[in-house]
Amino acid sequence: MRFDILTIFPGFFESVFAQGIVRRAQTEGLLEIGLHDLRAFTHDRHRTVDDRPFGGGEGMLLKPEPLAEALVSLGVAPRAHGEQAPANLRRPNEKVILLSAQGRVFTQAVARELARLDRVVLLCGRYEGVDERINELYCDMELSIGDYVLSGGELAAAVVVDATMRMIPGVLGNEASGEFESFGASDGEIDVDVEGVPRSQHGAGGLLDYPQYTRPAEFGGLNVPQVLLNGDHAAIRRWRREQQLKKTLKNRPDLLERASLSAAERAVLFSLRNAVGANGASED
């Protein structure tokens, strides 16, 4: 899979993409990243990439011509426009994405969708944003990494690349491990044993991951939960599933509405909710 990133700060990405899994994915040929300096597509002495917004208002905008020229240099055709239904000349297995606080929220599900593509072109805004005609003519999607405003799209682009490349088959050591993290595959997609507990150690099933512990068994006066030490794998799976429900209820109750839960899990959730109700707004 290839990412092409258009930015006025290509140097921003150098260390981000030179570490850990993202570096390994590149050296193993599973991932290519092209960085493109927008200023290389300007033609004036000052290499100007911004201009004032029509109608007034704060700040500057990235002007359309350098972005359009950069996109054409990457083989991205503009969408036809006018009275007729727009015909997108884009190759089917690629998408052009504008990073924007006004975009659809980037989630693990979006990362999974993007990882099926051959190429994603990411446009990093700066200043007060990008001339909207670039969005209309070239972009398939606007993506936001969350409900806050960053000073540029570069951090957001790095987040999209990182989360997406983890979903490319072969990038993670264990082929399936992306499914077993927070927001991972639903249990329906994971083998379930006779007791209705996911056969995997931690199929996330759209929930948050469970807490994990390593040595030492006692730290800061806290012991590792006993159930993890006794080798009873069914009990461990049940405990982990309950912890997932508990953590999701505490930190992201919105995820529970979409999670596919068994009757037994709903019962656990019911008693967890009652316990929270009985203890008031307990933090535990």
**81-110 mask for ligand SAM (x: CB under 6 A)?**
------------------xxxx--------
The least distance separating ligand SAM from the CB of residue 142, rounded to whole angstroms, comes to: 8
Would you count residue 128 as binding ligand SAM (CB under 6 A)? Answer: yes
Q: Which of 108, 144, 244, 248 binds ligand SAM (CB under 6 A)?
A: 144
Would you count residue 66 as binding ligand SAM (CB under 6 A)? Answer: no
**156-195 mask for ligand SAM (x: CB under 6 A)?**
x---------------------------------------
Residues in the chain, how many? 284
Would you count residue 7 as binding ligand SAM (CB under 6 A)? Answer: no
The least distance separating ligand SAM from the CB of residue 136, rounded to whole angstroms, comes to: 15
The set of residues, in sequence order, having a beta carbon less than 8 Å from that of 116 and lying 6+ positions away, is none
CB burial string 164-182: b at 16+ within 10 A, e below = bbbbbeebbeeeeebbbbb
* Nearest alpha carbon to residue 238 among 208, 263, 268: 268
Q: Which of 1, 5, 130, 245 binds ligand SAM (CB under 6 A)?
A: 130
Helix pair angle (263-278, 233-251), 10° resolution:
50
Structure token pair of residue 51:
């201009």
CB-CB contact of 13 with 156 (8 Å):
no
- Binding footprint of ligand SAM on the chain (CB under 6 A): 99-102, 124-126, 128-130, 144-146, 148-153, 156
